[in-house]
Amino acid sequence: MHHFHFLIIGGGAAGMCAALGARSMLRCHQIADDAFRIAIAERNSRLGIKIRISGGGKCNITHAGEMMHVLAKGFLRQSEQRFLKPSFFELSNDTVLSWLHSKGVQTLTRENGRIFPRSGKADDVLCVFEKLLSEHAIDVRLNAHVERVRKENGVFIADVGGALFQSEHLLIATGGVSYPKTGTTGDGLRFAKAFGHTVVTPTSALAPIYLTTKPPCDLVGISLRNVALIAESSTRKLTRRGDVLITHLGISGPACLSISRDVAEVLTTEPVSLFVDFFPDDSSERLEWQFISFQTARAAQFVRTFFEERLPNVIVPTLLAQARVPLEQKWNCLPKPMRRSLTAVSKKYFLGDVQHIPIERGEVSAGGVALHEVNPKTMRSRHVEHLYFAGEVLDVAGEVGGFNLQAAYSTGWVAGESVAKAFLAQVLSPQNHH
């Protein structure tokens, strides 16, 4: 039996920050490290695998700006914003960056607000966390897969491949369920359920979308820049602005990743079709007027030239085919019905029907421990004393842009601080002085 005061299951961004948050606060109150043993149980042979693979190996560490703006930009749902607000203010993007800078890792802020290590190496970010954990006397147990966990006589007991880890405080920071090969197989959700928590069924987020009919080979790999991606079912219409990448199974790219969570939800009850508005800044009327003017101004020109000037050439024949406009059609003899359908298809080009959104391929998974059962100021369970949750195991999922890591750091840090505060309240309580 190994005894700890604070056991953290999962050594990702949330778990590591929780350990640092707890130790920092205890040191501020002159609590000796060995008076409060903090351990991280990580099933992999190294911490932070998701940090290492994040941002395509470059790690989009966080997002620049005031935390209020970061929240609003990164989390589209009000419930998530409300839940994350206290922790985002407790541990900000600037604090995380200051840790990196203090260890010599320089960062670079892109125009779109995304922050990366200047070296372009995610590993540099992880190394800083590893150094900090060692400086903060955190007991890191690698290859430690927590299989079961229970609470007996006020103490948590985790079963780690035969060994037992005992602890007064427990944080579940096991991440989501996407990329299961990295170790995130949903164990934490199982533990949460066993402790009586409601778990919102995980769904895909930030994932590619597969279509029932695979895109034609010549379209695979093309990027449709700054379009509006439209997802439509019989009851819902969703839209995202951004780039869409055509893949051999469907679509990907920023607009697709962003819309995938909402589409996955709608797809559970009804079929969804995808469309592209190639000219989201122009209304249909304006586009139609433009086409009318071309009938004299560009009379002898092929209709397709206009589209070839603006879109990847290979998509133009399919666009014209959907509008039933011949490839050799010129503006001067374009019949009105064809002009109308050209406008309609320009604003709503059919991409395909959604077949599937692979949860395992998402950068994050939505769903997880229900937010109303966790106190957002402390990350403490509202059901089980001394139990905490942080990071992606919670029912939050942000946009692409460094928001998900920030949510993991902030909620983890707050959980750690709360554990330390609970311990301090115990040792400093008047009862303990008699």
Ligand X SMILES: Cc1cc2nc3c(=O)[nH]c(=O)nc-3n(C[C@H](O)[C@H](O)[C@H](O)COP(=O)(O)OP(=O)(O)OC[C@H]3O[C@@H](n4cnc5c(N)ncnc54)[C@H](O)[C@@H]3O)c2cc1C
Q: Which of 187, 277, 288, 373 binds ligand X (CB under 6 A)?
A: 187
210 close to 357: Cβ distance less than 8 angstroms:
yes
Q: Which stretch binds ligand X (CB under 6 A): 42-50, 82-90, 220-228, 285-293?
A: 42-50
Q: Which of 178, 204, 260, 343 binds ligand X (CB under 6 A)?
A: 178
Q: Which of 391, 410, 416, 418 binds ligand X (CB under 6 A)?
A: 391
Q: How far is CA 206 from CA 170, 226, 255, 361, 365, in A?
A: 29, 18, 9, 8, 8
Phi and psi angles of residue 415, each rounded to the nearest 5 degrees, phi first: -60, -45
359 binds ligand X (CB under 6 A): no
393 close to 172: Cβ distance less than 8 angstroms:
yes
> What residues pair up with 142 in beta bridges, in sequence order?
none
Q: Which of 4, 5, 6, 14 binds ligand X (CB under 6 A)?
A: 14
Q: How far is the CB of 164 from ligand X (least distance, A)?
A: 14
Q: How far is the CB of 219 from ligand X (least distance, A)?
A: 25
| Shorter beta-carbon distance to ligand X: residue 250 or 362 | 362
254 binds ligand X (CB under 6 A): no
Q: Kindly report the CA angle at 32 between 28 and 34, in degrees rounded to 5?
A: 140
Q: Which stretch binds ligand X (CB under 6 A): 54-62, 129-137, 196-204, 211-219?
A: 54-62
| Shorter beta-carbon distance to ligand X: residue 12 or 242 | 12
Q: Which of 8, 20, 36, 42 binds ligand X (CB under 6 A)?
A: 42
Among 254, 264, 275, CA closest to 349 = 275
Among 220, 167, 177, CA closest to 202 = 177
251-255 contacts, C-beta under 8 A, 24 or more apart: 251/208, 251/209, 251/211, 251/215, 251/351, 252/208, 252/209, 253/223, 253/224, 254/400, 255/227, 255/228, 255/229
13 binds ligand X (CB under 6 A): yes
364 binds ligand X (CB under 6 A): yes
116 to 155, contacts with ligand X by CB under 6 A? 145-146
| Shorter beta-carbon distance to ligand X: residue 346 or 404 | 404
Q: Which of 92, 107, 174, 260 binds ligand X (CB under 6 A)?
A: 174
Q: Which stretch binds ligand X (CB under 6 A): 43-51, 245-253, 279-287, 311-319?
A: 43-51
Q: How far is the CB of 173 from ligand X (least distance, A)?
A: 5
- Pattern 395-434, binding to ligand X, x per CB under 6 A? -------xxxx--x--------------------------
Phi and psi angles of residue 44, each rounded to the nearest 5 degrees, phi first: -80, 170
- Evaluate the CA torsion angle 5, 8, 14, 16 in order and state its sign: positive
| Alpha carbons 45 and 382: distance in angstroms, whole number | 33
| Alpha carbons 293 and 113: distance in angstroms, whole number | 40
| Shorter beta-carbon distance to ligand X: residue 64 or 173 | 173
397 close to 77: Cβ distance less than 8 angstroms:
no
Burial letters for 109-123: b for 16+ Cβ neighbours within 10 Å, e otherwise? eeeebbbbbeeebbe
229 close to 237: Cβ distance less than 8 angstroms:
no
> What residues pair up with 210 in beta bridges, in sequence order?
250, 356
Q: Which of 6, 7, 8, 9 binds ligand X (CB under 6 A)?
A: 9
Q: Which of 117, 183, 215, 253 binds ligand X (CB under 6 A)?
A: 183
50 binds ligand X (CB under 6 A): yes
Q: Which of 55, 117, 250, 416 binds ligand X (CB under 6 A)?
A: 55
208 close to 355: Cβ distance less than 8 angstroms:
no
Q: How far is the CB of 149 from ligand X (least distance, A)?
A: 9
Q: Which stretch binds ligand X (CB under 6 A): 24-32, 55-63, 248-256, 336-344?
A: 55-63
Burial letters for 11-23: b for 16+ Cβ neighbours within 10 Å, e otherwise? bbbbbbbbbbbbb
54 binds ligand X (CB under 6 A): yes
Half-sphere exposure of 255 (CA within 13 A, CB side): 24
Q: How far is the CB of 398 from ligand X (least distance, A)?
A: 7
Q: How far is the CB of 277 from ligand X (least distance, A)?
A: 28
175 binds ligand X (CB under 6 A): yes
**Interacting residues with ligand X (CB under 6 A):** 9-15, 41-44, 49-50, 53-55, 59-60, 145-146, 173-175, 178-179, 183-184, 187, 363-364, 391-392, 402-405, 408
